[in-house]
Amino acid sequence: MNQDIERVKVLIIGSGPAGYTAAIYASRAGLNPVLYTGGQPGGQLTITTDVENYPGYPDGIMGPEMMEDFRKQAERFGTKVRYGMVTAVDFSQTPYVVTVDEQVTVHADTVIISTGASAKWLGLDSETRLNGKGVSACAVCDGFFFRGQDVAIVGAGDTACEEASYLANICSKVYMIVRRDEMRASQIMQNRVMNNPKIEILWNTETEEILGEEEVTGARVINNVTHQKRELKISGFFVAIGHQPNTSVFKDFIHMDESGYIKTIPGSTKTNVEGVFACGDAQDHIYRQAVTAAGTGCMAALDAERFLAALENH
């Protein structure tokens, strides 16, 4: 028998706005939650510079600082925040068995999954270097900073079209970089971008390099049919080629859609396994905002609290 087995009432997996909000509610309810941060403590917000759309921060706040505030608030009420990555789960029996970093075993009466999603990137060195300095994976979060400027967006799905339209409302020009000669987006979304005079679609085009030292000043693109190169003068570069939910460790037990997002029962955070709840971007591929993630984190904690209360009354 592993000596390191710990028994907890509420185990929270993931440390973005959803996980920390769940922790604040669960700890204030006296449930002594334990939260494991995962590989990117603070989640996607730690690679975001300015957050200006979260209520309560009138002057805006840096993403990493905001997550620090969330963590301190959770710890103030008694949440145990631990660094570690969940590497295996067994939800076939209760208490649920969760393995962290392949060596620590935790037995949990309830589990809240808040592992989030990671943006897919093009894989360019310049993209990594200029991330947060003009390169972004969220037009709704960061488009405002490029008001009245020229920007580019990569992608060909509904999200890319939606974000291109959003950017066209506030930017002076939007280049839409599409790898093939057609889009994956629904017809209505395609029509919207094609009929927008501010959006120029570059078909059969790929990005070779994002230009700029301290911040984005342009992008070098190549037409993959004619091999002609072109330099775009832009100050913002948006990547909208999708997100990957960080849920693969749960796939043997939890119902998901074809993209790997966890299915929850509408109006709740309940999954197909009783006592296992999911919140934040691990189950939301529509809104993907810090404030909506925090809202579902609150819901998950309340759902877990009610579940535990019902167990005790049996």
Name every residue whose Cβ is closer than 8 Å to that of residue 288 and which is 6 or more positions away in sequence: 117, 138, 243, 281
Residue 58: CB atoms within 10 Å: 7
Region of 137 (left: φ > 0; alpha: ψ -120 to 50; beta: rest) is alpha
Q: Catalytic one among 109, 141, 171, 279?
A: 141
Dig out the tokens for 286 from the structure. Answer: 């529509």
d(CA 186, CA 157): 8
- Residue 15 near residue 45, CB atoms below 8 Å: no
Q: Rounded to 5 degrees, what are φ and ψ at 49?
A: -80, -90
Q: Own/partner pairs for 144-150, CB < 8 Å, 24+ apart?
A: 144/52, 144/53, 144/170, 145/50, 145/236, 146/170, 146/171, 146/235, 146/236, 147/171, 148/172, 149/234, 149/235, 149/236, 150/174, 150/175, 150/232, 150/233, 150/234, 150/235
Q: Which of 50, 125, 138, 161 is catalytic?
A: 138
Query: Tokens 């920007």 sit at which residue?
Result: 151
138 an active-site residue?
A: yes
Q: Which of 109, 142, 150, 284 is catalytic?
A: 142
DSSP H/E element including 23:
helix 17-28
Does the annotation mark 59 as catalytic? no
Is residue 171 annotated as part of the catalytic site, yes or no? Answer: no
Spatial distance between the Cα atoms of 190 and 134, rounded to a whole number of angstroms: 25
211: enclosing H helix or E strand: strand 205-211
H helix runs in 29-109, sequence order: 63-76
Q: Which residues does the annotation mark as catalytic?
A: 138, 141-142
